[in-house]
Amino acid sequence: MIDPGDTARHTRATADRPHVSFRSLMLGTGPRFARDALGPVLAFYIAWKLAGLGAGIVLGTGVALAAFFWERRRLRSGLGAAIGLGIALTQALVGALSGSAIGYFAPAVIANAIYGLVFAGSVAIGRPLAGVFASESYPFPPEVKASRTFRRTFSIISLAWGALLLARSAFRLLVLSWGNVDVFVLINVVTGVPITLALMTWSLWYGVHSFRRSAEWGAALADEPRRSA
């Protein structure tokens, strides 16, 4: 049985929010995610091929810096861009010290494995990391963030991302051990983009539909137009 008081609070919590739809979330998140994930990698690779390791490090780091400041100027926390910048700076240091493109890419592979463990660990402590990233794209009210639906939905999404990141890191570490940068970048793009895009698409779809089906928030969201849901 739904408490009328809870229903009233849920209605107030969702009254002033932007429209929730799969399309709006995908258009808002997808391009930024692709930029943060592939921008520095492709910038490094192109500059490395054309002008050498030093140019690749400078351009790859420059793209990561530009993405971070772009997010900050738009008053977003830029969490994804900040993580990308941290990885890019580590790559720049290791790449410069090792003097090799293989050394440049190694920290990103290791960081992704750690990232996967953090996703899984965040579920164990009841603070799913996927919910933190979701808050970058949609202004969830405090009542929503404290709800069971929020924790359950983003716990499932966090576990999915953790599994993908760990599996992808293991595979890329194997490819990187072959010592062929061209093959590594090709696999990074060809396998990374479709798989990551598919999981992102599912994550956004699942998040929207999970809230629509929930006993806590379904009634409040039922009044919204269901276009592009």
pLDDT for residue 121: 96
Share above pLDDT 70 across residues of the chain, in percent, rounded to a whole number: 77
Domain boundaries, the chain: 19-222
Q: What are the start-end ranges of the H helices in the chain?
A: 4-15, 22-51, 53-73, 79-98, 101-124, 129-137, 142-145, 148-177, 181-213, 218-222
Phi, psi of 17 (to 5 degrees): -80, 160
For 6, half-sphere exposure in the C-beta direction (CA atoms, 13 angstrom radius) is 12
Residue 102 DSSP symbol: H
Confidence of residue 105 (pLDDT cuts 50, 70, 90): very high
Distances 159 to 54, 103, 117, 199 between C-alpha atoms, Å: 37, 29, 9, 12
Is pLDDT of 1 > 80? no
- Judged against a pLDDT cut of 80, whether residue 136 lies above it is answered with no
The residue-averaged pLDDT of 180-208 equals: 86
Give the lowest-confidence range in 16-25, 62-71, 165-174: 16-25
Residue type, 181: V
Give how far Cα 72 sits from Cα of 50, 58, 76, 77, 80, Å: 31, 21, 5, 6, 11
Q: What is the mean pLDDT of residues 124-142?
A: 85
Judge contact between 109 and 96, C-beta under 8 A: no
Distance CA 91, CA 129 (A): 24
d(CA 162, CA 78): 20
Is the pTM higher than 0.85? The answer reads no
